[in-house]
Amino acid sequence: MIKKKKRREHRRPKPCQFCKDPTIQINYKNFKLLRRYINERGKIVARRNSGVCARHQRQLAREIKRARFLALIPYTAYIYR
């Protein structure tokens, strides 16, 4: 039995939203923007999924953690079963 190798599709990386539009400020007070970069479990979305560059990903992580500390964003999502 010969196994075939799976081919990976190489997608073009998305341009960083914050590099494209420098007027957008990453700030802990702007929790509506930060919610886009948190999944339904309350975890910070990875760079490869969000399409943000490394510099802005670090800024996002720092501001999300600040917003969590100030209770603007929940640490975890409540899952009812």
CA-wise closest residue to 38 among 15, 60, 20, 8:
60
CATH of residue 21's domain is 4.10.640.10
* Domain coverage including residue 40: 17-69
DSSP 25: -
**Structural domain count, the chain:** 1
- Structural domain contains residue 79: no
> What digits encode the pLDDT tens for the residues 27-66?
999 989 999 999 988 899 999 999 999 999 999 999 999 9
Give the predicted TM-score (pTM) of the model.
Answer: 0.78
C-beta of residue 42 within 8 angstroms of C-beta of residue 77: yes
- Structural domain contains residue 81: no
Higher-pLDDT residue of 57 and 8 is 57
C-beta of residue 63 within 8 angstroms of C-beta of residue 27: yes
Using 50, 70 and 90 to split pLDDT, how confident is the model at 81? low
Two structure tokens written together for 26? 């990453």
Cβ neighbours, 10 Å, residue 38:
19
C-beta of residue 44 within 8 angstroms of C-beta of residue 61: yes
